[in-house]
């Protein structure tokens, strides 16, 4: 086994030579065998053990075991403890996903802080077969069948070519001790059934099932990369990043008979799950939207617009600006400055007659009934909503607009249009320049 591993590394991971390796070590059969093998291969290794505190004393037993193993064999060891349940609850994750996230985040941290080059995990061939069959039995997509890759950035899985049986035999021959792993408890029935009934049946149908399966999975991985290629190529044709969010051009998108597949590919990583609603958006009227936990997908004319939900946003918010304040930072960067002369006002800079203002000024979101007298229109009144329409603002842009009020009069539809009533005239004594940065 040592020789096969050596060959395997030379052929597939030649870059590991002389590198500092961090071995993920739970204390179970696979990770202890991996530690033993790499120790024998004379790599500069260290062990990293996470105590997820999911199995009470047992978890600490595992931790002690790995600590003993490391000190007996003179291998440096890193240890951390997580409150996995709390983390899972906070981030609304399954325990399994929480543990995985915590684990890999910590590994990447150690790579940085301790100067390791790669992390090694002890996944073996049967892990991939079992996960494939579990996912198949439950229903899955291509991503559930491709298996865990032999390399993923800085994570290497050098034991993927070995079966559980080979690893167990090696441990037996070499009198290696390990901790029985009782994790994956929720999957236990399923995993055992698959391990003891399903996989043997497949091996009966084809004595070379494991290598055949490894080929199958490598083909599926190739297909998966091509799916991602297609996803990226079509994204580049259809999507455009704007300030308010990502715009998907529906006229382009609808040309593809399978556009729902692409929407799925692009959006599932933003946490969306109401796929039928999303697919309906494409043909729905403007203004409809679908939410994920943190994102919103909005139909607006010929686009779908993906934007983060501003979790702080509240249309009732008001911000007060006292006389003499020079800078406002929240909710917008505004500066107030007395000037002697006026220049031509722009979208982002206006000049007002200070004496006409009623302090404190108020910044507030707009409402449907808001009216103002647009600068230069000789005192004619106009609805703010009509202004937005004329300016062809998207729904998202509209939502982002703030209004500067003086009493019950609008001073400025910020960034868009000044009100006539506060403009500087020939009676003005103090000119106030207000600027949006």
d(CA 69, CA 64): 8
Query: Shortest approach of its own copies to residue 366 CB, angstroms?
Result: 42
Does residue 394 interact with its own copies by CB under 8 A? no
Does residue 282 interact with its own copies by CB under 8 A? no
Instruction: Take residue 378 and report the two structure tokens written for it.
Output: 């000789």
Does residue 148 interact with its own copies by CB under 8 A? no
Nearer residue to its own copies within complex by CB, 136 or 185: 136
Residues 150 and 156: beta-carbon distance below 8 Å: yes
Sheet holding 20-24, edge to edge: 77-81, 44-51, 20-24, 118-120, 155-156, 151-152
Nearer residue to its own copies within complex by CB, 62 or 130: 130
Query: Shortest approach of its own copies to residue 142 CB, angstroms?
Result: 4
- Region from 6-14, 201-209, 383-391, 425-433 binding its own copies, contact rule CB under 8 A: 201-209
d(CA 8, CA 157): 11
Q: Per CB under 8 A, which of residues 231..260 are in contact with its own copies?
A: 231, 233-234, 256, 258, 260
Residues 158 and 101: beta-carbon distance below 8 Å: no
Q: What pairing do the DSSP bridges indicate for beta strands 289-291 and 246-249?
A: unpaired
Does residue 229 interact with its own copies by CB under 8 A? yes
Query: Shortest approach of its own copies to residue 224 CB, angstroms?
Result: 8
Judged by CB under 8 A, which of 104, 209, 270, 279 binds its own copies? 209
CA distances, 239 to each of 230, 253, 256, 379 (Å): 14, 9, 14, 42
Nearer residue to its own copies within complex by CB, 151 or 349: 151
Judged by CB under 8 A, which of 198, 282, 362, 431 binds its own copies? 198
Query: Shortest approach of its own copies to residue 264 CB, angstroms?
Result: 8
Judged by CB under 8 A, which of 79, 86, 97, 142 binds its own copies? 142
Does residue 216 interact with its own copies by CB under 8 A? yes
Judged by CB under 8 A, which of 102, 150, 194, 361 binds its own copies? 194
Q: What pairing do the DSSP bridges indicate for beta strands 155-156 and 239-241?
A: unpaired
Residues 36 and 174: beta-carbon distance below 8 Å: yes
Does residue 53 interact with its own copies by CB under 8 A? no
Judged by CB under 8 A, which of 105, 219, 313, 389 binds its own copies? 219
d(CA 365, CA 362): 10
Does residue 202 interact with its own copies by CB under 8 A? yes
Using CB under 8 A as the criterion, which residues of the chain lie in contact with its own copies when the complex forms? Answer: 136-142, 145, 190, 193-194, 197-198, 201-202, 204-206, 209, 211-213, 215-216, 219-220, 222-227, 229-231, 233-234, 256, 258, 260-262, 264-265
């Amino acid at each position: 086994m040592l020789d096969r591993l050596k060959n395997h590394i030379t052929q597939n991971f030649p870059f590991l030579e002389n590198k500092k390796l961090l071995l993920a070590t739970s204390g179970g059969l696979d990770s202890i065998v991996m530690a033993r093998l790499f120790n024998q291969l004379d790599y500069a290794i260290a062990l990293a053990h996470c105590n997820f505190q999911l199995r009470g004393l047992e978890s600490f037993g595992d931790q002690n075991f790995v600590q003993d193993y490391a000190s007996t064999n003179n291998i440096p060891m890193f240890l951390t403890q997580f409150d996995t349940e709390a983390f899972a609850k906070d981030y609304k994750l399954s325990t399994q996903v929480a543990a995985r996230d915590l684990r890999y985040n910590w590994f990447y941290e150690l790579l940085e802080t301790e100067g390791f080059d790669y992390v090694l995990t002890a996944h073996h061939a049967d892990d991939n077969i079992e996960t494939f069959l579990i996912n198949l039995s439950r229903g899955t997509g291509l991503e559930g069948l491709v298996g865990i890759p032999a390399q993923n950035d800085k994570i290497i899985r050098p034991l993927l070519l070995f079966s559980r049986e080979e690893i167990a035999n090696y441990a037996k021959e070499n009198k290696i001790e390990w901790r029985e792993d009782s994790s994956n408890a929720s999957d236990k029935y399923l995993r055992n059934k698959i391990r003891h009934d399903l996989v043997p049946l497949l091996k009966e149908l084809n004595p070379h099932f494991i290598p055949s399966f490894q080929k199958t999975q490598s083909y599926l991985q190739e297909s998966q990369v091509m799916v991602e290629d297609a996803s990226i190529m079509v994204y580049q044709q259809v999507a455009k990043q704007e300030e308010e969010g990502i715009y998907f051009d529906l006229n382009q998108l609808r040309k593809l008979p399978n556009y729902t597949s692409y929407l799925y590919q692009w959006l599932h990583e933003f946490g969306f799950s109401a796929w039928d609603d999303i697919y309906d958006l494409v043909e729905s009227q403007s203004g409809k939207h679908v939410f994920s936990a943190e994102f919103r997908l909005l139909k607006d004319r010929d686009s779908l617009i993906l934007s983060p939900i501003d979790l702080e946003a509240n249309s009732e918010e008001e911000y007060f600006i006292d006389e003499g304040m020079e800078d406002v930072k929240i909710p917008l960067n505004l500066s107030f400055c007395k000037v002697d002369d006026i220049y031509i006002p722009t979208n982002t800079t206006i000049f007002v007659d200070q004496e006409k203002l009623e302090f404190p000024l108020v910044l507030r979101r707009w409402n449907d009934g808001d009216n103002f007298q647009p600068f230069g229109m000789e005192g004619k009144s106009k609805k703010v909503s009509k202004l937005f329409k004329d300016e062809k603002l998207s729904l998202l842009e509209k939502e982002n607009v703030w209004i500067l009020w003086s009493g019950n009069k609008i001073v400025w539809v910020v960034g868009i249009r000044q009100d006539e009533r506060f403009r500087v005239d020939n009676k003005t004594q103090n000119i106030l320049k207000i600027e949006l940065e």
